[in-house]
Structure 1
């Protein structure tokens, strides 16, 4: 008898150590005293069904008490599609600007009942269509356009909407570079440099911005920009500064704020100061831009509005409406500080 009691005690202890089993719709139905069909109607707010208010209340209270969370597959079956939006992030450094965009996009999608899942693409990563099928994504979005083969594979993997599939975002990127160069030229700089990021994952975006800088120089009748590559190391940035000073550059358009702050550090290695010796302007207006020495002049854009518009495009694509997205949604603005 004592041995059996000890055995029961040990089984109870083991059971207490295990996490509670996930509640099911059958559990909710049992506690509420209704059928699983009724539970489905109530929790999915099924239209065309007349459910007594008392019954609805019991189901909702049972679901809360059991901490019931429907499986994504069940929600997808009820809604006709999943709530997952898959964001493909290319093989590039995830800086403050990129992180802020992802956070804003996730928040904007939540307002539409959608959940953002990110996938870091890379040489050793799983193919994007495989990830799409695994997470049962309804929509797939990216920072750059997908090639035609990838788009076909994503639709075959179950995606209902792919964005951007054939979108040319270079216009907005060039507009940012043009704004940088026009600001410096307007301040009297006639020899412009461009700080190109060394990371190849950023090269497409960086080259688009460089095209904008080059166009602004041509329109103003000044020489094309002097391009120097750098990473976020002081030594590399100092070498870029050496190239610019050797060619009488007086103003530099940096790919982004992080690159610009590296250039400021490289200038200090040469005993140079901004803007007296070399004016520097960045892009993104990251939180540390105002803390740079000196505070960084930069180009900002309305990330909240951009993310909201991007979420609306995704919802439109998922609901069969014609999605539209224009470069004007980026709305670049000059933020003047002390570096230029």
Structure 2
């Protein structure tokens, strides 16, 4: 192998020299250009040379040839990157791969590069925003020919910005599961303000079911993820008049904090207080008692989001209604 001096990027010229062919032949082979009669032995020689040299085609050059890159830039919201968001990113990666698109994510970390620098460097075909981001930035992307799909989460009651992913049905599913045996519900609200867009919409779903059935509004308490803060909330629910007997928790982490507080008070779920979470994280089945929870089909959500992006790239009109988001109740012992 001739080798490439220094640490500069390997080019198609280097591959041509290594394989003993022309640059045009390298381009035809690596881009699988149709209607080119290139012997199979020559094709193998080019691919072998590219592999030896570690050649990676330039995304920018490919974009100039095709008029479009194959990258979708995912903008993560300012939420904890834990089990559920991580699973969604994996499933989005798979869903986009089925359309021959590469999904690359950008997190709004404190020391991350400015968003404008990131998308200009990547020249993505599209941006999928999983949360809110500045409209001025979205306008600059569109002006540069980048499709922008914003997967806003939230409440269907917002007439100005209907969500692409509705959160109300999650709270409604929790409430409907509990009201068969409980006539006074509480809501365990997270203590992270950045999760408010999700929590408010899920709470709206609980409130809607309570109103439909003519039972009191849910007793809402902020529950830190830890035993001491949750103990105060549990005591307040049990001391209410009439007492709260069923808790819809924002997610499984908050629900587990409620279960831990119950145990520290010498109480049990569901006998003293029934608890239902959201997400079915791995620890839910291992909790004491095992946690009843709402399971969202994140794979279906990922595929639907990928389809919205592909439709936008192909110039097809997107549907106005929220994505279909199948939910089911994973019934265990806690509720």
**TM-score, with length taken from structure 2:** 0.87
**Partner in structure 2 of residue 228 of structure 1:** 221
Deviates more, 1:112-121 or 1:292-301: 112-121
RMSD across aligned C-alpha pairs, in angstroms?
A: 2.5
**Partner in structure 2 of residue 183 of structure 1:** 177
Deviates more, 1:63-72 or 1:203-212: 63-72
Instruction: Return the alpha-carbon distance in structure 2 between the equivalents of residues 287 and 301 of structure 1.
Output: 14
1:40-189 pair list within 5 angstroms: 40-47=27-34, 49-54=35-40, 55-121=42-108, 125-146=112-133, 148-156=135-143, 159-164=146-151, 168-169=162-163, 172-186=166-180, 188-189=181-182
**Partner in structure 2 of residue 287 of structure 1:** 282
Structure with greater proportional helix content = 1
Deviates more, 1:214-223 or 1:72-81: 72-81
1:62 Cα deviation from its structure 2 partner: 2.3
1:325 Cα deviation from its structure 2 partner: 7.7
Q: Structure 1's 151 and 225: CA in aligned 2 closer, same or farther, altered over 3 A?
A: same
1:45 Cα deviation from its structure 2 partner: 2.2
1:297-316 pair list within 5 angstroms: 297-316=292-311
Equivalenced residues, count: 322
Instruction: Return the alpha-carbon distance in structure 2 between the equivalents of residues 296 and 302 of structure 1.
Output: 18
The structure number with the bigger radius of gyration is 1
- 8 A Cα contact 2:130 2:150, kept in partner: no
Q: 1:334 aligns with which of 322, 329, 333?
A: 329
What runs of 5+ residues in structure 2 fail to find an aligned partner? 153-159
- 8 A Cα contact 1:314 1:323, kept in partner: no
Q: In the TM superposition, what whole-angstrom CA distance separates every residue of 1:46-89 from its partner, at most 9, and x where no partner exists?
A: 34x42323333332232233332112222322332222222212
Q: Structure 1's 153 and 272: CA in aligned 2 closer, same or farther, altered over 3 A?
A: farther
Q: In the TM superposition, what whole-angstrom CA distance separates every residue of 1:96-129 from its partner, at most 9, and x where no partner exists?
A: 1111111111122223232222222256655433
